[in-house]
Amino acid sequence: MPNPTAAFLVIGDEILSGRTREANVQVLATALAAAGIDLVEVRVIRDGLEPIVTAVNALRSTHDQVFTSGGIGPTHDDVTADSVAAAFGVPIDVRDDARAMLEELVRRRGVPMAEGILRMARIPDGAALIGNKLSGAPGFSLGNVHVMAGVPTIFAAMVEELVPTLPGGAPTVSGSLVVERGEAYFAAALAEFARTHDDLTIGSYPFRDDDRFAVEVVVRGRDRVRVDEAVARLAVVLNEA
């Protein structure tokens, strides 16, 4: 059976403008690989009801799971929750269990409740909450769409809580070797090896380490023995190329 597939929708003008560096793809991809869920698409879109609704509906119809980051804070441009509710055609309002989480948050911090904070308790009808051990402000899951914070530490906490609860498949394992030559000198041999090992994913990634230029060749698959055997054989093939 193939693994479930996933898409990641990164939401935020600050990402597209270059003001904020995207830091959540690697966190999600690593967690999904360990859970046997294949991340096959990442999109970055601007804030706004229409673009989010369009993207959510497109992705949830073609992938088993969809994850979003960003746009669930307390300000006017945080419209992800409203957009997901609109995509599913359900109402959204402050929910008692989400309100209780935020009341506990402000109690711990010793600050008064504010309308902006309470705005983060607005949850679409039928959604399940995604907690996090850092801020206490929840994300939520509605159908196969999982809505999480954009702040990297909070996003990671939500991923840690959510991903182990999702149906998965065979975890992805990997192995690698370093080749001290440019890719052009072994590209043909690598392509032929990949063609005859089509159950594996094989990629080459140049890097510079101080004054050394080299290439890391990575083999990924779902069978540890198969991956290790391929790496060992590939070392011989590329040495002879």
Residue 152: burial class (beta carbons within 10 Å; 0-12, 13-18, 19+): middle
112-139 mean pLDDT:
91
**pTM assigned to the model:** 0.91
Residue 210, pLDDT > 90, answer: no
**pLDDT tens per residue, range 133-170:** 888 889 999 999 999 999 999 999 999 999 999 999 99
CATH homologous superfamily of 5-165 = MoaB/Mog-like domain (3.40.980.10)
The C-alpha atoms of residue 228 and residue 174 are separated, in whole angstroms, by 8
**More reliable by pLDDT, 84 or 116:** 84
**pLDDT tens per residue, range 48-67:** 999 999 999 999 999 999 99
Question: CATH 3.40.980.10 spans which residues of the chain?
Answer: 5-165
CATH of domain 173-240: 3.30.70.1130
Rounded mean pLDDT of the chain?
A: 95
Question: CATH 3.30.70.1130 spans which residues of the chain?
Answer: 173-240
Residue 119: burial class (beta carbons within 10 Å; 0-12, 13-18, 19+): middle
